[in-house]
Structure 1
Amino acid sequence: MKKKKFKLQRQVGTSLPGLGDKKEKGPMAKRPFPPGQHGRSRGRHISEYGIRLKEKQKVRYHYGLKDKQLRTLVIKSKQKESNWLNAFVDTVERRLDNIVFRLGFFPSIPAARQAVVHGNVLVNGKVLDIPSYICSLEDEISLKEKLYDNVIVIKTLEAPTLDCPHFLSLDKKSKKPVGKVIDTPLLADVPFEFNEQYFIEFCGNIG
């Protein structure tokens, strides 16, 4: 799994924190070139389509979305407002698996997703095992009591992959911290290098 995460990030040329790698320690810091025997080749030609595809893949890999899921989210976002990218980012950033990750409970989105699926995450005091659930303003997110003694959770809370964003709050002084959604995620909250115009152009025909 670690090799796969490493390869995916080199493939798109960007460190993706959702896969659990801090930028200064991620695969791009070690091997800043694509995988494969021709990865080091200078002047590799990438088509206009390929350049735009790479932006879509960054989003897919970071948030752990399948192509069908991404298409559905784009279509729904376009139905909400003309500047649909804002609605799209707001939605993916408020997914439960991402919220659990951004609060610093787990080092990656896949790890957070696993905790959700196994029934170890609570929303407003009730177990919710749907990673794609979209959290609302004022929702409170916590873990089952036994998880607060988990070594991975303890270490990640001490040194999270990303700092807690402005749209979430977390009382780290508590032995059993509870997170809360306090604002709306913005385009600037996407935590990796991202060309929004190329992404918009790639998704232009969707929906």
Structure 2
Amino acid sequence: MAKSTTARSRFKIQRALGVELPGLGKGGALARRPYGPGVHGNKRKKISDYAVRLKEKQKLVFHYGLREKQLVTYVKQAKKNTAGKPWMEVLLTNLESRLNNVVFRLGFAPSMMAASQMVSHGQVQVNGKKVDRSSYIVKEGDVVTLTEKGYNNQLYKQTQESPRFAAVPACYNVEGSDKKKATMVAAPLESDVPFDFNSQLVIEYYWKVK
């Protein structure tokens, strides 16, 4: 998990990338301005193709709470897939299937960092068994729930009172009126990524990685 960020630094990150990243938690509205952040942001300057691709890649790093080395590992794994699918599709499915992300997207935690904390504290169960690794990949048919301690966690209660998302992605079947149990019924898709994102630019950024 990437190191902790303050509310101010979270805003600055999103301001610099020009997009609201739900994984960083709920914050104020991200005002869009016709220039970049900082005292010199209103001075027009040409942005290189590399910088454009870098910013797009950084969206994945910050939203999913990864380090650059971790993302590169996921890229390498995706490129080695034997299913014949485009590697970018495999990459995004794997990122969306990480346990901390699943907990976050199900509305069990208010941010990716909070979801990772719940996982590491043993408050998340997959198929009735505790799993304490945020990087655990949830598969189709897996049932995700929290422990009793997890449902009593203030982070969980906070999210129930003020949901981060209006709805749960279609790849999950949420059961019960209390929405405390969910099954992954299909692999997450690129369309499930909850922020503006150009996958082609990331493909171009990592084209040399093998």
TM more than 0.5: yes
SS at structure 1 position matched to 2:145: strand
The 1-side partners of 2:150 and 2:88 are apart by 35
SS in 2 for 1:179: strand
1:93-131 Cα distance to aligned partner (Å, 9 max, x none): 000000000000011111000111111111111111100
Corresponding residue of 2:3: none
Q: Which runs of 4+ in 1 moved over 4 A?
A: 30-33
Report how many aligned residue pairs link the two structures: 202
Distance 1:115 1:30 in 2: 33
Name the CA distance, whole Å, in 2 between partners of 1:58 and 1:193. Answer: 9
Residue in 2 aligned with 1:97? Answer: 100
Match of 1:35 in 2: 37
In 2, Cα distance between equivalents of 1:137 and 1:205 = 31
**What is aligned with 1:106?**
109
**What TM-score does the superposition give when structure 1 sets the normalisation length?**
0.90
Residue of structure 2 equivalent to 1:47: 48
Please report how far the alpha carbon of residue 65 of structure 1 lies from its aligned counterpart in structure 2 after TM superposition.
Answer: 1.1
Q: Secondary structure at the match of 1:29?
A: coil
**Residue 161 in structure 1 maps to residue 161 in structure 2:** no
Any stretches of 5+ residues in structure 2 without a counterpart? 1-5
Distance 1:116 1:12 in 2: 28
1:83 maps to what in 2? 86
Map 1:65-84 to 2 at 5 A: 65-80=66-81, 81=84, 83-84=86-87
Kindly indicate whether residue 203 of structure 2 is the aligned counterpart of residue 200 of structure 1.
Answer: yes
- Once superposed, what is the RMSD of the aligned Cα atoms? 1.9
Identity across matched positions, percent = 43
CA distance change for structure 1 residues 159 and 36 in 2, over 3 Å: closer, same or farther? same
Offset from partner CA, 1:149-182 (integer Å, 9 cap, x none): 33331231243212210111223513x7112111
Contact kept, 8 Å, 1:140 with 1:180, in 2: the verdict is yes
Which consecutive unaligned segments of at least 5 residues does structure 1 have?
none
